[in-house]
């Protein structure tokens, strides 16, 4: 008979402590929310239990003498290409508990990352490059439906449009902070995103958790989300933001709903979401008023009526094989923005098997959707925003060249404030004070510091985007949008090149 569950014998990480350098200050004890470090009263020094370690590295980062090192556990099972240690440990855990495996963050599996197999073309002699330090470089982006043609009249003050444009979302960078709900992350992080977005002249997305009353002041830089659970949705909420997004699906868990454990629903989350404190908040898989494109059309126009047609309405879907047809229906239903979330998108909690095996890469979905809308002559009727695994400025540039108008970043924004992707967001014990509402843990995030780090990240990416545009001989992000001739594939087969709509390197 086993003394403890099998899964606890086969932990993933080992804590190494240089005893000669450890001063028994107990910083690691206080910093570890998983209680992997503790004070041994009998021996009168700090000890640890590697079986509890989740690999967040918080203790090593905070140790004043740098005596701690976190390593992957060197021991492993016998080599077997089919029965890898990951699947063996999964079976042990489910045999111990009888429960569904849960994970946070995005898909870590070694699936193809098409960003890394696409290269940008560059200017040389015949098409001179542009120096963004000395010449104007435009990154401003407008999201929303564009007319097929414009009619204007001449006035003494210059040309004036005869018909007003549909509502547009103006961004100073083609980057926004992705939907991360209040409850999944805490109030300090929502404040940080709101302040960073305001500094940058971009937008952040509330996620499906409603909008805290203290954040209404940032409405000009806020996208409010309407999901299947309708948490926190009311007329004032819909009118609080610069855009409204209807969430149909998300990349980390296509086809299923959401679940915020009751442990994360404190008094503030309860009031904002309009659910009882301490109770689980369940988002059903479908919207119970949407079972067709016609139903979606009714919701889109109900929101437009509620907001008096002042703001664009977006619809977010997961990247799946029939995304092009779905996107076409969404645009024809009156959406101003289509958001596509790829299978590498992060999440606070998802069944591990869903996160790692459902959905398709955002690169392929984006190219297919852009092609379909162009072929149908309706590409200008809605903007495209993509999310799910955008890691750097080069990914942003490649996404726009494939046809996106802008991107969402979620995981990257959290990494900027300390996240180490330990993937235990669903426990509510985030050691970096991000995916937790525990009073002692969420204090680890200072909203002013977090806002500055997020803003620094986007500004740095903006500089790099300008450099890459200049290197391609372009002076505006508009000139890159859908310009796939600026991309070349390397190491991709003919089918992949065909779906992406790009040539192979050397051609």
pLDDT at 127 over 90: no
Backbone phi and psi for residue 159, each to the nearest 5 degrees, phi listed first: -65, 145
Domain identity same for 89 and 188: no
48, 82, 99 - which closes a domain: 99
Query: Which one-letter DSSP state was computed for residue 479?
Result: G
Q: Please check whether residues 63 and 203 belong to one and the same domain.
A: no
Res. 237: pLDDT tops 50: yes
Q: How far is CA 342 from the centre of its chain?
A: 9
Note the pLDDT tens digit of each residue in 180-215. Answer: 999 999 999 999 999 999 999 999 999 999 999 999
CA distance 451 to 151: 42
Mean pLDDT of 221-234: 95
pLDDT band at residue 158 using 50, 70 and 90 as cut-offs: confident
- Determine the structural domain holding residue 483 and report its residue range: 166-504
Answer yes or no: do 92 and 194 share one domain.
no
Residue 52: pLDDT band (50, 70, 90) is very high
Residues 351 and 447 placed together within one structural domain of the fold: yes
Position 135 in a domain: no
Q: Cα separation of 312 and 138, whole Å?
A: 22
CATH for 89: 3.30.70.20
| Same domain assignment for residues 84 and 170 | no
Domain contains 208: yes
In a domain, 104, yes or no: no
Number of independent structural domains in the chain: 2
Q: Are residues 82 and 173 in the same domain?
A: no
First to last CA, the chain: 65
Do the domain assignments include residue 255? Answer: yes
Quick check: is 406 in a domain?
Answer: yes
Given a cut of 50, is residue 355 above it in pLDDT? yes
Task: Look up residue 250 and give its two tokens.
Answer: 């998300």
Give the model's confidence band at 279: pLDDT under 50 very low, under 70 low, under 90 confident, else very high: confident
The CATH number covering residue 203 comes to 3.20.20.70
Of the candidates 74, 99, 124, which is a domain's last residue?
Answer: 99
Domain finish residue from 99, 118, 153:
99
Q: What angle do CA 445, 446, 450 make, to 5 degrees?
A: 85
Tokens of 320: 């799946």
Q: Please report the pLDDT score of residue 263 as a whole number.
A: 84
What does the pLDDT read at residue 1?
47
Assess whether 94 and 177 both reside in one domain.
no
Q: How far apart are CA 407 and CA 404, in angstroms?
A: 7
Residues 197 and 73 placed together within one structural domain of the fold: no
Render pLDDT for 83-116 as a digit per residue (tens, 0 to 9).
999 999 999 999 999 999 999 999 999 999 999 9
What DSSP state is assigned to residue 401?
A: H
């Amino acid at each position: 008979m086993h003394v403890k569950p099998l899964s606890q014998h086969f932990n993933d990480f080992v804590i190494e402590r240089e005893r000669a350098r450890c001063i028994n200050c107990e910083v690691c004890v206080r910093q570890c929310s998983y209680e992997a470090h503790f004070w041994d009263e009998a021996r009168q020094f700090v000890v640890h239990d590697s079986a509890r370690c989740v690999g967040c590295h918080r203790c090593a980062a905070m140790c004043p003498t740098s005596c701690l090192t976190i390593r992957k556990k060197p021991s492993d099972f016998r080599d077997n290409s089919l029965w890898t240690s990951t699947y063996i440990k999964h079976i042990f855990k489910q045999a111990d508990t009888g429960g569904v495996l849960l994970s946070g963050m995005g898909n870590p599996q070694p699936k193809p990352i098409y960003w890394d197999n696409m290269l940008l073309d560059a200017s040389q002699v015949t098409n001179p490059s542009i120096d963004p330090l000395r010449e104007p470089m435009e990154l401003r982006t407008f999201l929303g439906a564009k007319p097929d043609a414009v009619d204007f009249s001449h006035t003494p003050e210059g040309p004036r449009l005869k018909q007003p444009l549909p509502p547009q979302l103006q961004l100073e960078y083609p980057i926004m902070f992705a939907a991360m709900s209040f409850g999944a992350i805490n109030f300090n992080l929502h404040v940080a995103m709101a302040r960073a977005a305001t500094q940058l002249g971009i937008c952040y997305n509330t996620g499906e958790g409603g909008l805290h009353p203290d954040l209404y002041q940032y409405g000009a830089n806020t996208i409010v989300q309407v999901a299947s659970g309708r948490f926190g949705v009311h007329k004032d909420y819909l009118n609080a933001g610069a855009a409204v997004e209807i969430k149909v699906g998300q990349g980390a868990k296509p086809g299923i709903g959401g679940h915020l454990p009751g442990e994360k629903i404190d008094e503030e989350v309860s009031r904002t979401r309009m659910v009882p404190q301490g109770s689980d908040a369940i988002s059903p898989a479908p919207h119970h008023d949407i079972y067709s494109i016609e139903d979606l059309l009714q919701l889109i126009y109900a929101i437009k009526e509620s907001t008096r047609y002042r703001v664009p309405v977006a619809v977010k879907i997961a990247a799946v094989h029939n995304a092009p047809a779905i996107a076409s229906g969404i645009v024809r239903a009156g959406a101003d923005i289509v958001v596509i979330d790829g299978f590498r998108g992060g999440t606070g909690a998802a069944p591990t098997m869903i996160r790692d095996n459902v959905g398709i890469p955002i690169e392929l979905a984006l190219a297919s959707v852009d092609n379909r809308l162009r072929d149908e002559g309706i590409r200008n009727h809605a903007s495209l925003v993509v999310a799910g695994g955008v890691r750097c400025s080069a990914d942003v540039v490649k996404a726009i060249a494939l046809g996106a108008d802008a991107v969402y970043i979620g995981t990257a924004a959290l990494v900027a404030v300390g996240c180490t992707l330990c993937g235990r967001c669903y426990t509510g014990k985030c050691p970096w004070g991000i995916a937790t509402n525990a009073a002692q843990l969420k204090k680890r995030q200072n909203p002013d510091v977090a806002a500055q780090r997020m803003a620094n990240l986007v500004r740095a990416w903006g500089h790099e985007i300008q450099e890459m545009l200049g290197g391609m001989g372009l002076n505006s992000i508009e000139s890159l949008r859908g310009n796939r001739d600026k991309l070349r594939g390397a190491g991709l087969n003919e089918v992949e090149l065909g779906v992406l709509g790009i040539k192979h390197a050397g051609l």
